[in-house]
């Protein structure tokens, strides 16, 4: 019935309201698996480039963008969030944007 952990993650992420964000750990906690933050990120990494899932709304617990080694998706995530009205404080998103 679960059909795989990834699909559950995609469902939760798809339900994040416009202009709000969640941390990887938050998504994992919603699934009842608070220790699976890394797997949440991994599930998002498996998404197609043309996915409709709003993956940009999932960030680190600190409010920073998770990508470190990717020169493309990191800036792209920030651009997407800013276009949704999410204001950055330096490289971090203020806690008020977390649902």
Partner DNA sequence: GCAGTGACTAGTA
Partner DNA sequence: ATACTAGCCACTG
State how far the Cα of 16 lies from the Cα of 97, in Å rounded to an integer: 11
Size of the residue set binding DNA (CB under 7 A): 33
Closer residue to DNA in complex, CB, 77/85: 77
Tokens representing residue 92 in the block:
């971090």
Closer residue to DNA in complex, CB, 16/23: 23
Strand ranges inside 1-99, DSSP E: 22-23, 58-59
Here the contacts of 31-40 (C-beta below 8 Å, separation 24 or greater) are: 31/5, 36/5, 39/5, 39/9, 40/9
Closer residue to DNA in complex, CB, 11/45: 45
Shortest spacing between CB 39 and DNA, in angstroms: 4
Binders of DNA among 38-97, rule CB under 7 A? 38-47, 55-56, 58, 60-62, 66-69, 73, 77
State how far the Cα of 64 lies from the Cα of 99, in Å rounded to an integer: 16
Q: Would you tell me which residues interact with DNA (CB under 7 A)?
A: 4-6, 23-26, 33, 35-47, 55-56, 58, 60-62, 66-69, 73, 77
């Amino acid at each position: 019935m679960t059909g795989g952990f990834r699909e559950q993650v995609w469902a939760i992420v798809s339900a994040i309201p416009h202009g709000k964000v969640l941390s990887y750990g938050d998504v994992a906690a919603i699934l009842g698996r608070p220790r699976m933050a890394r797997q949440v990120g991994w599930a998002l990494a498996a998404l197609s480039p043309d996915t409709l899932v709003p993956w940009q709304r999932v960030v680190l617990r600190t409010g920073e963008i998770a990508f470190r080694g990717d020169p493309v998706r990191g800036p792209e995530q920030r651009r997407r969030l800013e276009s949704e009205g999410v204001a950055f404080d330096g490289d971090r998103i203020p806690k008020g944007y977390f649902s």
